[in-house]
Amino acid sequence: MRVLVIGSGAREHALCHALSRDPDVTALHCAPGNAGIADVAQPHPVDAADGPAVAELAARLAAGLVVIGPEAPLVAGVADAVRAAGIPCFGPSAEAARLEGSKAFAKEVMAAAQVPTGRSYLCTTPEEAEDALDAFGPPYVVKDDGLAAGKGVVVTEDLDRARAHAAACDRVVIEEFLDGPEVSLFAVTDGETVVPLQPAQDFKRAHDGDRGPNTGGMGAYSPLPWADPKLADEVVATVVQPTIDEMRRRGTPFAGLLYAGLALTTRGVRVVEFNARFGDPETQAVLARLRTPLAGLLHAAATGGLAAFPPLRWSRDAAVTVVVAAHGYPAAPRTGDPIEGLEEVAAEDAPRAYVLHAGTRRDAEGRVVSAGGRVLSVTATGPDLAAARKRAYRAVSRIRLDGSHHRTDIAAAAAAAADDQPQVAE
């Protein structure tokens, strides 16, 4: 199978890394890719959000499968353009991607499907926002209704900051704060059948101890030794399947990856948000453990064949990914800094630890330099979380990027927990 992956982040590098190990993949292409993805997939300088251009590229490459990574192309209808060209595409239609593209739409679908989530108000005037902030009190959860490149959600005790973020959004969803640990559960679906992946946990704040500003995610691990082994099945039954059924009932079936961001509250599981694509950086940890060849799974989802797909196979290993971020991330990331140490990781730590590129490019001299806020995802596996952490951080210590920062506590609490045996789902 010839596969084309759309996007340029560490999530797309993780997808390409997994696809490159799939014996059924005969050619791997990406658009536009980055300096690391180019090592495993042939890059093409095509705008990921340009549907006709992506469809034309896929046809020219005779791709048997297109995998769309980021949300912006999905919301822009790139999957529709690819499917209209008769090419199987992993990723929902623009209509279905509204589950991520509009927080208010997602809330409406959840209400119709009786999916548990936080109470919320959609506000379009400062007065409505003020009333909603007043109704819930701190901590305030203020979400831009539309896509905002990872900057749409503010969770704060500071009323002025909450007001300012609400004022900066055209339409804003203000909702109750959900406490309890957060879990990311990805489900592959063809619009009818749902296949959950293993849960992961993301670290959204910039600094150790969950301090500092919200980011796109500073690290992740999987599995979750502290979680109920039945969590994925429960979430499929109460959240994912009802949502998929509701989307199909509306005539806008959702086929692709439904990402349920969950809070495990004292009152039970609640949906914090839906995304219409693989999460980043959780994907790096989850795919490190998936033993089922990826292309067949994604192709089955793209072609309505998941009901006949065999159960997924998982490694017994744990996986940890640590994000190395640029100087100034997330407020004002600096780009253009040379990155050194990548060859040392490849020589000393591979294959158990490896570097997935996010914001990188090659400069005129062929050096790999930073080109975004989250620059690298250093991923490692091991027999347990403690071993995977150790390998990941040893590899991180070899990377030299001026002014970079990373969290030092990814998976630390889970690794330290007494019962640290990875769960295995067959």
- Beta-carbon neighbour count of residue 320 at 10 Å? 31
Residue (of 316, 329, 344) closest to 400 by Cα position: 344
Q: Is 202 in the site for ligand GLY (CB under 6 A)?
A: yes
* 280 is a site residue for ligand GLY (CB under 6 A): yes
Q: 30 or 276: whose CB is closer to ligand GLY?
A: 276
Please state, in angstroms and rounded to a whole number, the distance separating the CA atoms of residues 177 and 199: 22
- Residue 279 binds ligand GLY (CB under 6 A): yes
Which part of the chain contacts ligand GLY (CB under 6 A), choosing from 28-36, 58-66, 276-284, 331-339? 276-284
Kindly tell me which of 129 and 240 has the beta carbon lying closer to ligand GLY: 240
- Looking at beta carbons only, is 70 or 88 nearer to ligand GLY? 70
Say whether 13 sits in a helix, a strand or coil: helix
Burial (CB count <10 Å: 0-12, 13-18, 19+), residue 249:
exposed
The 10 Å Cβ neighbour count of residue 343 is 9
Q: How far is the CB of 279 from ligand GLY (least distance, A)?
A: 3
Pull the structure tokens for residue 275. 């995304």
CB-nearer residue toward ligand GLY: 144 or 282: 282
Q: Is 282 in the site for ligand GLY (CB under 6 A)?
A: yes
Report d(CA 269, CA 250) in Å as an integer. 25
Positive or negative torsion for Cα 7, 13, 18, 21: positive
275 binds ligand GLY (CB under 6 A): yes
Q: Of the two residues 175 and 202, which places its CB atom closer to ligand GLY in the complex? A: 202
| Shortest Cβ 216–ligand GLY spacing (Å) | 6
Burial of 283 (0-12, 13-18, 19+ CB in 10 A): buried
Residue 419 CB, shortest distance to ligand GLY, in Å, is 26
Distance CA 258, CA 99 (A): 9
**6 vs 58 by CB, closer to ligand GLY:** 6
Task: Give residue number: closest CB to ligand GLY.
Answer: 279
* Residue 217 engages ligand GLY in binding (rule: CB under 6 A): yes
For residue 290, what are the contacts with CB-CB under 8 A and spacing of at least 6? Answer: 18, 197, 198, 312, 313, 314, 315
Stretch that binds ligand GLY, among 19-27, 278-286, 296-304, 309-317 (CB under 6 A): 278-286
Q: Number of residues interacting with ligand GLY: please give it, by CB under 6 A.
A: 7
Binding of ligand GLY by 222 (CB under 6 A): no
Q: Which positions touch ligand GLY (CB under 6 A)?
A: 202, 216-217, 275, 279-280, 282
